[in-house]
Amino acid sequence: ITLEHASSFSKMAPAVASKLVEKLMKDFNLSRAQAVQIVNISPTNPEEIRTILDARSTDLTDQQVTEIMDLIVDRRSK
């Protein structure tokens, strides 16, 4: 029941989410915890990404935050 419940509210397929976590870690030097949080929450705007990451934990540029947003939007429906 738990897996069914989680799947019904999932914003992306597990395999897609796993690959995205790895990509965020590699391309943006995020920790696994940060990448997982971003993928789990699937933010809808750059401010949410910055809030998730917290200013003290990373120095991403506006361009990098936009790239992360684009990756999330692109994979959200897959």
Which CATH number covers residue 64?
Answer: 1.10.150.80
Q: Is 42 left (phi over 0), alpha (psi -120 to 50) or beta?
A: left
Per-residue confidence (pLDDT) for residue 56, from 0 to 100: 60
Per-residue confidence (pLDDT) for residue 13, from 0 to 100: 85
Sequence-separated (6 or more) residues with CB below 8 Å from residue 17: 10, 39, 40, 75
Instruction: Give the range of the structural domain holding residue 29, as residue numbers without chain letter.
Output: 2-76
The closest alpha carbon to 61, from 19, 2, 53, belongs to: 53
CA dihedral sign of residues 36, 6, 70, 62: negative
Judge whether residue 78 has pLDDT over 90: no
Per-residue confidence (pLDDT) for residue 25, from 0 to 100: 97
Of residues 41 and 77, the one with the higher pLDDT is 41
Q: How many domains does the chain have?
A: 1
70: its two tokens = 């684009």
Q: How many residues does the chain have?
A: 78
23: its two tokens = 């990509």
The answer to whether the CB of 24 falls within 8 A of the CB of 38 is: yes
Per-residue confidence (pLDDT) for residue 72, from 0 to 100: 94
Judge whether residue 9 has pLDDT over 70: no
Reported as a single tens digit per residue, the pLDDT across 18-71 is: 999 999 999 999 999 999 999 999 999 999 999 988 866 678 899 999 999 999
